[in-house]
A and B are shown apart, each in its own frame.
Chain A
Amino acid sequence: MRWDHLWTHGWCCNTNMASEIEHIDLANSNQKLIDHLIHENSFHDWLTTVAFYKAIHVVEAVFANNSNYHSHSHADREEKLKRTARYKAIFTNYSHLLTESRTVRYLLNPRSRLTIETVKSLLIYKRLFAVEQNSLQFLSDRAKKSLVKIQPPPNLANQAVPQ
């Protein structure tokens, strides 16, 4: 599986830090799985988790392009986002994905908390969409063009992007 291969060999092991474009490629791999799970209309917990990992790669692409910085942990990434004033909107929206992915991964029986419909409307089409939209200004032209972006359905397409 290409996603797994790139994750373990290109980023996680620190042997060869991923570039901005490599992070965008990883984000796009996650987007394929998001599309598949949305199509299946099930596995809301996995949809939440994959959305969070797509956000991670979008944020890491931002860091790679702006400061050649690579996070070594979730805490490291949060710290970098919070200490940089211009990343406030990214951090706020990212925090929703972080919180809910942690809930579905570490707490028993979280299924009653969010339905597949609320995961789609709240986490994918609102918060992940906002992470992407607020990140675009910090990406290179090539990365902006390469990133496969969330496409909200028509009834949500005109909502304001949360700042």
Chain B
Amino acid sequence: MTTAIGFPELSNIVEIDWYDENDKIIVTPRNQLRFTIQKDRAIEALRIVRDSERFTLQFELLLGKLARWVKERASDIQTAIITLQDNSLMFVVVQSDDCYDEQLQDDLAELDFAIAQDTDLDLMRLRTVMLPPVDSDALGSFVDARMVLQYQHGK
């Protein structure tokens, strides 16, 4: 089966069947620069696009969940940051108080576990870390400058 797909809109459904081996797909974009792609690669590309959209939705859901969690504990938290570490998202929570906050760590572990178990967040890979009050230099060693989202209390 050879199937032509017009981008960006599809006016009807075009079925691409993985079981039809060795097929290629001819794609005619709006600029008419037609190209051919192996069907398996086309399916993989479409899957990536779909997952990318799902990832964006899940990421927004996750940000909301984390913001609510921080807001409920605003007095115990000096700052909270979403960043990257080892191909995961990292949620860094800095305590307000110098003493080890056992309850806050229990709550953070509970949140971490709940997110990992949440099927609506199955694409999210999140790690968490709780730190004592630290200066910006020390905090910098836990933060990847490529992505730093800092929670502002009350927002």
- B106 adjacent to A92 (CB under 8 Å): yes
Cα distance A74–B78 when bound, in Å?
26
For the complex, would chain B's binding face be called helix, strand, loop or mixed by DSSP majority?
A: mixed
Contact (A103, B127) CB under 8 Å given A82-B117, A112-B98, A113-B98: no
**Partner of B113 from A82, A113, A118, A122 at Cβ < 8 Å:** A82
Cα distance A75–B141 when bound, in Å?
17
B67 at the binding interface (Cβ < 8 Å): no
User: What is the size category of the interface that chain B forms with chain A?
Assistant: 20 to 34
Contact (A102, B106) CB under 8 Å given A82-B116, A113-B99, A118-B100: no
Stretch at the interface among B8-16, B19-27, B46-54, B129-137: B129-137
- B100 adjacent to A91 (CB under 8 Å): no
- A103 adjacent to B132 (CB under 8 Å): yes
CB-nearest residue of chain B relative to A78? B127
Cα distance A48–B88 when bound, in Å?
26
Cα distance A75–B131 when bound, in Å?
17
**Partner of A113 from B86, B100, B112, B138 at Cβ < 8 Å:** B100
Number of interface residues of A (CB under 8 A): 25
Q: Which A residues are CB-close (under 8 A) to B127?
A: 75, 78
- A91 adjacent to B109 (CB under 8 Å): yes
- Interface residues, chain A, with chain B CB atoms under 8 Å away: 73, 75, 78-79, 82-83, 85, 88, 91-92, 95-96, 99-100, 102-103, 106-108, 110, 112-114, 118, 122
Extra 16 A-B pairs, beta carbons < 8 Å, given A83-B117, A107-B131: A75-B85, A75-B127, A78-B127, A88-B113, A92-B109, A95-B105, A95-B108, A95-B109, A95-B128, A96-B102, A96-B105, A102-B129, A106-B141, A107-B132, A107-B134, A113-B98
